[in-house]
Structure 1
């Protein structure tokens, strides 16, 4: 939700997250393999968990990169009224406009 306090040029560092996730994925795979070969199953499992976390993050980053940029309102659009958990002004309980 837009609050009006965010910078006008705010961007998510998705490309940096992509490379960091890839780096973590490679190191986790390397660590998992090495620890399994030297007989340290606990450390191998820990690296396996990190591998899964990095793989999920990489998948999400790739999904967001493929979606492309999203439209954001400009400076001439005022911030939205925050949702305070109520029904809102002029709306019914289900979010439909009130009649008459």
Structure 2
């Protein structure tokens, strides 16, 4: 049910995004090293660029998580105001 206040009360799954970024960072680093060692420069550069993008996303997510519950409400904050039932 939509209440009309969703943009004000929307929540982002930052913890999940954080762990996906950590997972992606590991795979991008592995790919960069593996392709560099096998002599595939183009793929190593592509994985290196991906590594930089994932690292920037991880830094941004960590920044947002450090801002606290104003920007990431806890589990006790409902995602929307309950509708008024007459």
Place the TM-score, normalised by the shorter chain, in its bin.
0.7 to 0.9
Unaligned runs of 5+ in 1: 76-100
Query: 2 CA distance for matches of 1:43 and 1:23?
Result: 19
Q: Larger relative CO (CA 8 A, sep 6+): 1 or 2?
A: 2
Residue 5 of structure 1: how far off its partner (Å): 4.5
Unaligned runs of 5+ in 2: 74-79, 82-86
**Number of matched pairs:** 73
The TM-score normalised by the length of structure 1 is 0.63
Residue 10 of structure 1: how far off its partner (Å): 3.1
Question: Which protein has the larger Cα radius of gyration, Structure 1 or Structure 2?
Answer: 1
Counterpart for residue 12 of structure 1: 12
The TM-score normalised by the length of structure 2 is 0.73
Counterpart for residue 34 of structure 1: 34
Partner deviation per Cα, 1:9-32 (whole Å, 9 max, x = no partner): 632100000000000000000000
Name the one with the larger helix percent: 2
2:68 corresponds to 1:52:
no
CA RMSD of aligned residues (A): 2.8
Query: 2 CA distance for matches of 1:32 and 1:49?
Result: 9
